[in-house]
Structure 1
Amino acid sequence: MSQRFLLITILITFCISNAQNNTKLDSINAEKRGLVSKKVLKTSLTTENIKIDGVIDESAWKSVEMASDFISFEPDNGNPIPQNRKTEVKILYDNNAIYISAVMYDENPSKILKEFVQRDNIGAADFFGIFINGFNDGQQDFRFIVSASNGQADCQASDNQGEDYSWDAIWESQTKITDFGWVAEIKIPYAALRFSPENKQTWGLNFMREVRRDRQKYTWTFIDPKIRTFIQQAGILEGIENIKTPTRLFFLPYSSFYLNADAQNKTKGTLKGGLDLKYGINDAFTLDVILIPDFGQTAVDQKILNLGPFEQQFNENRSFFTEGTDLFSKGNLFYSRRIGGRPSGRANLEINEKVSETPATVGLLNALKVSGRTKDGLGIGVLNAVTENTYATILDTITGQSRRQIIEPLANYNILVFDQRFNKNSSFSFINTNVTRNGSFRDANVSALIWDLNTKANTFNMQGNFKYSHVNNPNQDKNGISSYLEINKTSGKYRYGIGSDILTKKFDNNDLGINFQTNFYSLYANGSYRILSPNKQFNRFNLNTNFYNEFQLETGKIQTSNLNINLNIGSKKNNAYGMNVNSNPVETTDYYEPRTTGRYFIQPKRIGFGGYYSSNYNNKFAYDVDSNVSWSDQKGRNAINLSLSPRYRINDKISFIYKYNYSRNRNNKGFGTKINTDNNDLTPVDIIIANRNIISHTNTLTTKYSVNSNMNFNLSAIHYWSYSENKSFLLLQNDGRFTPYTGTVKNLNQDFSTWNLDLSYTWWFVPGSQVSILYRNNSFNEISDINKNYIKNYTNLINNEVLSHTFSISIKYFIDYNQAKNWF
């Protein structure tokens, strides 16, 4: 009897256990199929003081609801998280912040990766992230990520624009490695978030965890890779009610000291000070103001030998113009380097005068931005900046007297944006940019309508814009139009799309934006195939092709024709590799390289092949190799590019990365010079085309030593050398072809090199407050006589008279009004 009872008990226990497992799997599968509602996590109000120490011992944590049952995001999409890696997350809140505890189990705690790196760079480390959408509109996240070494990263993210790590918030975290895994405890003040003013809050919510050694990522809610959107597949956070958020008013005063020395040992010290201010107009809108700006410690622009017809575009390194500017980037009308960039005017010279000094940039007086979003999904942004009068110094070569002439007047730069989101996946936007310069200088105004529309199931997308530019020149106004329309299938293994652009000849947004080409229309198409889950051979497989044709608007001649095929693969060992075929299948007509209106030359057909390999960065030693070669349909014209980058991580604190780039363009054809046929500026000119070899070398070394997650030493050294050696000259004919040129041409060879070295120390001594010490050494050399000896080139660069040394110390201190008011 007892044996029969025991057998029945075992059978019942087995059935219940199996039913529970099946219920969990069925729940996950139902969630995959969209048959159940979104996951919901309920938070609770706490009156207890939550100490951010990585120890989850406050009594408030015991009674709050827990988020668990994570699901694999990649590479094994859709599988339940293994029981030995279960993850348990809880959220509490009060009137100041939300608090997150994350307990992450690991079967081998000793193998948890925990490299120390700078902020916003996870490195080789496990991480936990919380993704919050305060408006629950399915379109934008505020993401807060903490690594196992307590490194912090934060960003704003959208499905269309990706992650923007230039955005920084002030928040707290602490992690601890335990005998069962690791723990993260986080405090996110409401000032770091944006949400509507309702008494009862409903936020979009997701969590992500990565076990770095396996490159396995897990999320709280299932993310279906067949659908392009990530944010819309988040869960829900409920329970935050009737919060009384504190005043959002923050001050960031700073003081900087610069000691500059040039090659003549002339030393100059400069002391600067200023203030940044942030004010929360409400919980959704923020005012940012920068007074007396100091950008002395921003990264140096990496200039190159630019032989093309267009200006070189630089990255923005000034934090005010990178943080929280997602609204202002709508329509690609905002190139922030225009603010405080090169003067727009030139000096007018009299007989016997020359320019003795011209500033390279314009000084910024102040700037502000207001941005936020209403509860109905309307985003509003205003950015305004004012630059100062800028003068050139002109010297009379006979009398020796100098005078100053204004080349950039007091100018106001303004951007206004309205961005209406709807259906949790679509938006309409209006943006206007305006530049007004004092006096009889050029003014400009550009407006755009932008749309991004998706079907309810996120299977198809239609996007486009219509832009209108008006430039008020002292001599002649001009108006232009730019527009594009694109339709794409955005779900499933097979995806494709078609689109078209048109830009009229007089479209010009270059006062506050950047645009190189006008007077054309284009047609393009793309198609791709990808695996949605790993198979026996690959973790990731993506094959895509793109076709692009561009035609001159007035003549209909083809300006550009590209056909590209790309293959990208992720291996089971987390290495990445791929290859590509790129071609210009027909001859094209280049209207820009001759640098003369109405003239063009014929670019030949071309075909190229390339490939890359990137080994797993989890390994102490890893490397990247990238190369491509191409051949043109002209005798002896070819190109090769090679990049090699080994890296070595000694331990969790010290690492080195070296990168070498080499490129060679043989028998390249490009603009050389113009020669007046009758020595008369009003007569036609002969356009001389240079047949040249272009060689470039770039050596880059970066290394870091991290004392901890808040204190880092960094070294960056870059030597760039490129030269263009002319072999012969050609005369451009009216039909775009070339004939040999037998006349005399001055030496047009170019040898250009730069050296930049930055050695820095940064210490975040409290959240938001930083000490920065920087030593900078840089130089450049531009000559027409080429010396092909690499060592001599580098020696000449270091001994150049423009070699400069800068030593600077900057201290920034974050002041919260709510704390400061108690000081008095």
Structure 2
Amino acid sequence: MIKSWLSFILMVAFAIQTFSQGTPNDTISINIRNKNFVYTVKKIKGSITLDGVLDETDWQTANRVENFRLVQPVDTGFAQQKSELMLIYDDKALYMAVIFYDTIPGKRIAESFRRDFAFNNNDNLLTVFDTFRDQTNGFSFGNSASGAIWDGLVSDGSVMNLNWDSKVELKVKDYPDKWITEMKIPFKSIRYPSKSQTWYANFGRLDLKSNEKSVWAPVPRQFPHASLAYTGVLKFDEPLPRPKTNFSLIPYLYGGYHQNFDAGENAGYRKDFGLDAKIGLGTSMNLDLTYNPDFAQVEVDQQVMNIDRFELLYPEKRQFFLENSDLFANYGETNTTPFFSRRIGLDAPVLGGARVSGKLGQDWRIGFMNMATEKTDAFAVRNFSVLSVQKKILSRSNLGFMMINKETLGEGSQRLFNRVAALDANLASRDNIWTGKVFYHRSFQPGNPD
């Protein structure tokens, strides 16, 4: 049964890869509020050393953005603290250099050196890239003045998922009157359409000493400056190259020895192994595989005191579930979500699974996941299958359909199942002034046809 499901997923992944290679590129007209904010990214042939010293010729000839616009405390005029931004790229990565001038005496605010730091408590740079130009989903990168990295996925136009980590590299260099960030973002760390030449993007700065939040493309102050409804336009000199197959493998091997000498028992040995793998399918899809996973490397949950009768829904931090997680997790509302991935593996170890997700064409997103948990004294082998399809409508809205199946792979009366069908409409205006959600979910299980 499990092998059959795995074979099916691999065939689906191959078909999706073939289809995605023919995805039309850059056929969407530029019809966004900040369409007049255009930055041309030059392609380079030289090499860039990440040292915070912008002495390479390519930086000297790059186009330069100056004078960010205020978001807070007011959203009119320019920030008093000057900012400069430059972007260049080669066949492997996008490079960004930012100069943040600081004329106010005193130390720069750096609360933590931890990755994905608290945004509002540190002087920082924050960027968002809407690579598919749907004004709904994107990638976010940034750093604090102390050099801590910030990276995450953007969904629903501005919602950040900071549990996703990439391979971004950066160097921060301090000067008495400014601090400089030099950053490298490998193309294989993100997803974008084949032969893409135009992205949407925005770049922001938070300066706590001056109490200024500023951006390149203007954003009204009632919205986060990472809002994808208010991005500008990035134009690359040439279509972006298709990166080499993005493949990562994380195996583990476990061994142990134990013996109770007092009881006179013989020595006992424990051994186990497993792996996680991620395979890029073109530039817009990815396949995740796992066998007998070990989640020991996952960060522990932050303790929360619960004083009501409702269960806590801790965020998913397992890498297998993270990329395109909104395709599965954003149905319904917080207390009525039909699928919560943290339940898989909660009461029985995960045996294995596969997951394919990403973008198809201009308007479609798809996700399919199949996992199985091991047989225990309390539970038989169980299978979890989820299919999610999302279609973009209007400028920033979408329709989504999801089918969930949880089934016990036993014999006779033990073969139980629970299935849920979900239909969601997520609505958002072009300027993000109004948003709404309508959904209908229905469950099915043996002995309960209603």
In the superposition, the TM-score normalised over structure 2's length comes to 0.81
Q: Spell out the pairing of 1:609-620 with structure 2 (5 A cutoff).
A: none
- What is the letter of the counterpart of residue 203 of structure 1? W
Distance 2:305 2:268 in 1: 29
Seen in structure 2, the aligned counterparts of structure 1 residues 47 and 313 have a Cα distance that, compared at 3 Å, is closer
Q: Spell out the pairing of 1:458-473 with structure 2 (5 A cutoff).
A: 458-472=432-446
Cα offset, 1:458, TM superposition: 4.1
Equivalent pair of 1:202/1:240 in contact (CA under 8 Å)? no
Decide which of 376, 389, 392 is 1:421's aligned counterpart: 392
Equivalent pair of 1:166/1:324 in contact (CA under 8 Å)? no
Cα offset, 1:86, TM superposition: 1.2
Distance 1:80 1:86 in 2: 9
Map of 1:527 onto structure 2: none
Decide which of 249, 252, 264 is 2:250's aligned counterpart: 252
What SS does the aligned partner of 2:395 have?
coil
Map of 1:290 onto structure 2: 290
Post-superposition Cα deviations, 1:87-109, rounded to whole Å, max 9, x if no partner, equal 11111111111000111111046
Determine if the alignment matches structure 1 residue 191 to structure 2 residue 165: no
Map of 1:232 onto structure 2: 229
Cα offset, 1:272, TM superposition: 5.2
Equivalent pair of 2:354/2:370 in contact (CA under 8 Å)? yes
Determine if the alignment matches structure 1 residue 107 to structure 2 residue 103: yes
CA RMSD of aligned residues (A): 3.1
Map of 2:329 onto structure 1: 329
Cα offset, 1:227, TM superposition: 6.8
Cα offset, 1:56, TM superposition: 1.1
Equivalent pair of 2:104/2:210 in contact (CA under 8 Å)? no
Distance 1:386 1:161 in 2: 33
Equivalent pair of 1:100/1:186 in contact (CA under 8 Å)? yes
Distance 2:212 2:419 in 1: 49
Determine if the alignment matches structure 1 residue 451 to structure 2 residue 425: yes
Q: How many residues align?
A: 402
Map of 2:208 onto structure 1: 212
Distance 2:354 2:440 in 1: 27
Distance 1:175 1:155 in 2: 20
Equivalent pair of 1:175/1:182 in contact (CA under 8 Å)? yes
Post-superposition Cα deviations, 1:417-462, rounded to whole Å, max 9, x if no partner, equal 1111233311111111111211223201111111122344544434
Distance 2:279 2:423 in 1: 30
Determine if the alignment matches structure 1 residue 441 to structure 2 residue 427: no
Seen in structure 2, the aligned counterparts of structure 1 residues 322 and 279 have a Cα distance that, compared at 3 Å, is closer
Equivalent pair of 1:128/1:208 in contact (CA under 8 Å)? yes
Distance 2:213 2:235 in 1: 25
Equivalent pair of 1:93/1:240 in contact (CA under 8 Å)? no
Decide which of 49, 73, 89 is 1:93's aligned counterpart: 89
Seen in structure 2, the aligned counterparts of structure 1 residues 258 and 119 have a Cα distance that, compared at 3 Å, is farther
- What is the letter of the counterpart of residue 132 of structure 1? F
Determine if the alignment matches structure 1 residue 54 to structure 2 residue 55: no
Cα offset, 1:409, TM superposition: 1.4
Distance 1:209 1:226 in 2: 16
Cα offset, 1:254, TM superposition: 3.9
Distance 1:255 1:60 in 2: 46
Distance 1:271 1:56 in 2: 51
Cα offset, 1:159, TM superposition: 4.2
Cα offset, 1:270, TM superposition: 6.0
Q: Spell out the pairing of 1:719-734 with structure 2 (5 A cutoff).
A: none
Post-superposition Cα deviations, 1:162-185, rounded to whole Å, max 9, x if no partner, equal 211111111101101013200001
Seen in structure 2, the aligned counterparts of structure 1 residues 441 and 189 have a Cα distance that, compared at 3 Å, is same
Equivalent pair of 1:369/1:383 in contact (CA under 8 Å)? yes
Distance 2:308 2:88 in 1: 58
Distance 2:381 2:284 in 1: 33
Distance 1:287 1:277 in 2: 8
Cα offset, 1:248, TM superposition: 1.2
Determine if the alignment matches structure 1 residue 378 to structure 2 residue 364: yes
What SS does the aligned partner of 2:441 have?
strand
What SS does the aligned partner of 1:241 have?
coil
Equivalent pair of 1:122/1:147 in contact (CA under 8 Å)? no
Seen in structure 2, the aligned counterparts of structure 1 residues 269 and 207 have a Cα distance that, compared at 3 Å, is farther
Distance 2:294 2:34 in 1: 53
Equivalent pair of 1:122/1:151 in contact (CA under 8 Å)? no
- What is the letter of the counterpart of residue 390 of structure 1? T
- What is the letter of the counterpart of residue 384 of structure 1? N
Equivalent pair of 1:167/1:324 in contact (CA under 8 Å)? no
Map of 2:128 onto structure 1: 131
**Whose strand fraction is larger, Structure 1's or Structure 2's?**
1
Distance 1:143 1:258 in 2: 41
Post-superposition Cα deviations, 1:662-695, rounded to whole Å, max 9, x if no partner, equal xxxxxxxxxxxxxxxxxxxxxxxxxxxxxxxxxx
What SS does the aligned partner of 1:390 have?
coil
Distance 1:168 1:478 in 2: 43
Map of 2:115 onto structure 1: 119
Determine if the alignment matches structure 1 residue 388 to structure 2 residue 374: yes
Seen in structure 2, the aligned counterparts of structure 1 residues 285 and 78 have a Cα distance that, compared at 3 Å, is same
Determine if the alignment matches structure 1 residue 140 to structure 2 residue 137: yes
Cα offset, 1:478, TM superposition: 3.1
Distance 1:90 1:373 in 2: 29
Seen in structure 2, the aligned counterparts of structure 1 residues 323 and 220 have a Cα distance that, compared at 3 Å, is same
Structure 1: gaps (5+ residues) = 1-33, 342-360, 392-406, 480-824
Distance 2:214 2:256 in 1: 47
Seen in structure 2, the aligned counterparts of structure 1 residues 307 and 478 have a Cα distance that, compared at 3 Å, is farther
What SS does the aligned partner of 2:110 have?
coil
Question: Higher RCO, 1 or 2 (CA under 8 Å, sep at least 6)?
Answer: 2
Equivalent pair of 1:232/1:424 in contact (CA under 8 Å)? no
Seen in structure 2, the aligned counterparts of structure 1 residues 115 and 462 have a Cα distance that, compared at 3 Å, is closer
Distance 2:72 2:268 in 1: 55
Seen in structure 2, the aligned counterparts of structure 1 residues 410 and 148 have a Cα distance that, compared at 3 Å, is same
Equivalent pair of 1:291/1:365 in contact (CA under 8 Å)? yes
Equivalent pair of 2:152/2:165 in contact (CA under 8 Å)? yes
Distance 2:206 2:36 in 1: 22
- What is the letter of the counterpart of residue 288 of structure 2? D
Cα offset, 1:156, TM superposition: 1.2
Cα offset, 1:144, TM superposition: 0.4
Seen in structure 2, the aligned counterparts of structure 1 residues 300 and 373 have a Cα distance that, compared at 3 Å, is closer
Map of 1:223 onto structure 2: 219
Equivalent pair of 2:324/2:358 in contact (CA under 8 Å)? no
Q: Please say which structure displays the higher CA radius of gyration.
A: 1
Cα offset, 1:245, TM superposition: 1.9
Q: Spell out the pairing of 1:698-709 with structure 2 (5 A cutoff).
A: none
- What is the letter of the counterpart of residue 326 of structure 2? D
- What is the letter of the counterpart of residue 53 of structure 2? V
What SS does the aligned partner of 1:232 have?
helix
Seen in structure 2, the aligned counterparts of structure 1 residues 205 and 365 have a Cα distance that, compared at 3 Å, is same
Cα offset, 1:296, TM superposition: 3.3
Seen in structure 2, the aligned counterparts of structure 1 residues 254 and 209 have a Cα distance that, compared at 3 Å, is farther
Cα offset, 1:410, TM superposition: 1.3
Distance 1:249 1:366 in 2: 18
Which region of structure 1 is more displaced relative to structure 2, 69-78 or 250-259?
250-259
What SS does the aligned partner of 1:278 have?
strand
- What is the letter of the counterpart of residue 453 of structure 1? L
Determine if the alignment matches structure 1 residue 42 to structure 2 residue 13: no
In the superposition, the TM-score normalised over structure 1's length comes to 0.45
Equivalent pair of 1:432/1:447 in contact (CA under 8 Å)? yes
Equivalent pair of 1:40/1:236 in contact (CA under 8 Å)? yes
Map of 1:813 onto structure 2: none
Post-superposition Cα deviations, 1:327-369, rounded to whole Å, max 9, x if no partner, equal 111312211232122xxxxxxxxxxxxxxxxxxx211111222
Distance 1:117 1:226 in 2: 29
Determine if the alignment matches structure 1 residue 153 to structure 2 residue 150: yes
- What is the letter of the counterpart of residue 295 of structure 1? F
